[in-house]
Amino acid sequence: MSDLHTHSAFSPDGASPLEEMAARAHEQGLKYFGVSEHFDFDYAACGILIHGEIMPLTDEEGYFSAARALQREYESKGMRLLVGGEYGFCPDKGCCERYLALTERQKPDFIINSVHTVDGADCYFPEYFENKSREQAYGDYLERVRESLDAPYPYDIVAHIGYVGRKAPYPDRMLRYDDFPALFDDILKTIVEKGKILEVNSSTRGIGAPFLPDTGVLARYFELGGRRLSFGSDAHDISRIAEGRERAAAALKALGFAALTIPDCGEYREILL
């Protein structure tokens, strides 16, 4: 009954107005609807162009004030609308300081920590893969994910591990546990030690799997004591809110997980799967 990773038209690549996203989530019976607009300071700071242009930024003031108003509106309707943000991790150019300042200004209810860019390129675009082997392209991405876990801002959720595969030029795009077992162990143990939440993300068109990360990664997380999981559709319009949640829930139960964790202003609440 939760979807904690969604984008409205406030995000540069979102399509549906926030009011419509919230109405749709409520119609679908969600008890927890997390809005996580993009805050990607990494693109401009590192000079990463998307289709030849600088990526526009989410209208911070516009988003937070509209979302807080909707949050109040839906409180009485039985849906907790969580006002959050997805921060694109970047260790350089003062990005982390800017995320800290944003957090201080807006006090989001939850923060998603994501890796979209590695050393000046977006792993979603073909240029990232040029002159790299699969091992190097995926390994560099995963090293960056590891680095992102030490981000100085108080993030809650570690998003879409395996994002690098969404548009990768390989027949088998899924980043698997067996590709980098030692590095995955380091990442998963760190998530457990820090008490963070590992996201199960159902935006996987083109990867040939119902969700990210790979089932092998989730099984190992469980083995290492990881119990905190969130579900996110990564919907960028109303049609995909909560997409794939039943399938993900069934798979998680089969792996032994019993609950999802809802981060809400620094407090974590468990809801049964």
> What is the smallest separation between the CB atom of 202 and Zn ion, expressed in angstroms?
12
Cβ burial of 178 (10 Å; 0-12, 13-18, 19+) is exposed
Instruction: Give strand ranges (E) for the chain.
Output: 2-3, 32-39, 49-50, 53-54, 80-88, 110-114, 117-118, 121-122, 157-158, 197-201, 229-232, 259-264, 267-272
- Contact window for Zn ion (CB under 5 A) among 68-76, 143-151, 208-216, 230-238: 230-238
Q: Which is nearer to Zn ion, 115 or 137 (CB)?
A: 115
- Contact window for Zn ion (CB under 5 A) among 111-119, 136-144, 172-180, 217-225: 111-119
Residues of span 69-88 touching Zn ion by CB under 5 A = 86
Instruction: Look up residue 194 and give its two tokens.
Output: 């820090």
Identify any residues that bridge with 2 across adjacent strands, giving them in sequence order: 32
Is 234 near Zn ion (CB under 5 A)?
yes
Q: Which is nearer to Zn ion, 103 or 203 (CB)?
A: 203
> What is the smallest separation between the CB atom of 40 and Zn ion, expressed in angstroms?
9
Q: Which is nearer to Zn ion, 34 or 226 (CB)?
A: 34
Which residues lie closer than 8 Å to 261 by C-beta, 6 or more apart? 197, 227, 228, 229, 230, 268, 269, 270, 271
Residue 212 is given by DSSP the state B
> What is the smallest separation between the CB atom of 86 and Zn ion, expressed in angstroms?
5
> What is the smallest separation between the CB atom of 232 and Zn ion, expressed in angstroms?
7
- Contact window for Zn ion (CB under 5 A) among 110-118, 184-192, 217-225, 246-254: 110-118
> Binders of Zn ion: how many residues, by CB under 5 A?
3
Is 58 near Zn ion (CB under 5 A)?
no
> What is the smallest separation between the CB atom of 115 and Zn ion, expressed in angstroms?
8
Is 114 near Zn ion (CB under 5 A)?
yes
- Contact window for Zn ion (CB under 5 A) among 109-117, 136-144, 243-251, 253-261: 109-117
Asked whether the bond before 213 is cis by omega within 30 degrees of 0, the reply is: yes
State the pairing for strand pair 53-54/49-50: antiparallel
Taking CB under 5 A as the rule, which mask of x and - marks residues 187-226 in contact with Zn ion?
Answer: ----------------------------------------
Which residues lie closer than 8 Å to 193 by C-beta, 6 or more apart? none
d(CA 30, CA 102): 28
Give the interface with Zn ion as residue ranges (CB under 5 A): 86, 114, 234
